[in-house]
A and B are shown apart, each in its own frame.
Chain A
Amino acid sequence: MKDIREDIAWAKINQDVMKSLENPRRLYWVILFVAICAFGVGVACEIYQYRTGMGVANLNNPQVWGLYIATFIFWIGMSHSGTLLSAILHLMHADWRKPIYRFAEAMTTFSLMTAGLFVMVHIGRLWQFYYSLPYPNERGIWPNFQSPLLWDAMAIFTYLSSSILFLFVGMIPDLAIARDNMADGWRKKLYTLLALGWEGTDRQWRNFRVTYLTIACFLIPLAVSVHSIVASDFAMSQAPGWHVTSFPPYFVAGALYSGCAAIITLFIILRYTFRFEEYMTKSILKKIVRLTFAIAMIWTYLNAVEFAAVWYSHDEASKAVLIEKATGTYAPFWWGMIFCGSVVPLVFAFERFQTNIPVLFATSLLLNLGMWLERWMIIAPTFSHGIYPWTWDHDQWPSMVQWGMVFGSFGWFTLLFMIFCKVFPSVSMYEVKEMVYHRTLHLKKSETAEQGAH
Chain B
Amino acid sequence: MSVSNLLENWSQFRHAHPVDDKPHDPYKWAMSIDLDACTGCNACSIACYAENNIPVVGKERFQHGQQMHWMRIERYWDEDGRDFPDQGAQFLPMMCQQCEAAPCETVCPVAATNHTADGLNSQIYNRCVGSRYCSANCPFKVRYFNWYDYPTDEAVWPAEMRQQLNPDVSVRSKGVMEKCTFCVQRLSAAKSVAKSEGRIVREGEVQTACQQSCPTGAISFGNLVDPESRVHKQWQAQRVELDKDKQAKDEHEEGTDLRGYRILEELRPYPSVMYLERVRESAV
Chain A residues with a Cβ under 8 A of chain B: 52-55, 58-65, 122-125, 128-129, 131-132, 141-144, 146-150, 153, 233, 236-239, 383, 386-388, 390-391, 393, 396
Contact = CB atoms under 8 A, between A and B. Distances in A.
A96 B199 CA distance: 79
Nearest to A391: B141
Contacts of B147: 53-55, 59-60
B129 A129 contact: yes
Determine the interface band of chain B, counting residues with CB < 8 A from chain A: 35 or more
21 contacts: A53-B175, A54-B147, A55-B147, A62-B65, A124-B175, A125-B175, A131-B127, A132-B131, A146-B107, A147-B108, A147-B109, A150-B109, A153-B109, A386-B139, A386-B141, A387-B139, A387-B264, A388-B139, A388-B141, A390-B94, A391-B141
B111 interface: yes
Interface in B163-179: 174-177
A303 B270 CA distance: 33
A239 B145 CA distance: 19
Given A52-B148, A53-B148, A147-B108, A123 B130 contact: yes
A148 B107 CA distance: 6
B39 interface: no
Contacts of A63: 65
Given A141-B127, A387-B264, 5 more contacts: A53-B146, A64-B132, A65-B136, A144-B106, A149-B133
Contact of B109 (A53, A64, A143, A390): A143
Given A53-B175, A142-B111, A388-B140, A124 B133 contact: no
A131 B267 CA distance: 30
B132 A124 contact: yes
Contact of B131 (A53, A123, A390): A123
A111 B264 CA distance: 40
B101 to A, nearest CB: 11
Nearest to B268: A238
B66 interface: yes
Contacts, number: 129
Contact of B107 (A124, A237, A393): A237
B157 interface: no
Nearest to B63: A395
Interface string B105-133: 01111110000000000000001111111
Interface of B: 61, 64-67, 72, 74, 94, 103, 106-111, 127-133, 135-137, 139-141, 143-149, 174-177, 264, 267
Contacts of A128: 129
A440 to B, nearest CB: 55
B132 to A, nearest CB: 4
B129 A125 contact: yes
Contacts of A131: 110, 127, 129
A60 B135 contact: no
Given A61-B141, A62-B141, A124-B174, A149 B135 contact: no
A133 to B, nearest CB: 9
B129 A237 contact: no
B137 A237 contact: yes
Contacts of A143: 109-111
Nearest to A54: B147
Contacts of B137: 237-239
Contacts of B130: 54, 123-125
Nearest to A146: B106
A149 B107 contact: yes
> Which of A55, A65, A150 has most B Cβ within 10 Å?
A55
A383 B135 CA distance: 10
A238 B141 CA distance: 12
Contacts of B177: 124
A124 B176 contact: yes
B139 to A, nearest CB: 5
A60 B107 contact: no
A131 B129 CA distance: 7
A125 B174 CA distance: 8
B136 A61 contact: no
A150 B112 CA distance: 13
Contacts of B136: 62, 64-65, 237, 239, 383
B131 A393 contact: no
B132 A65 contact: yes
A123 B61 CA distance: 20
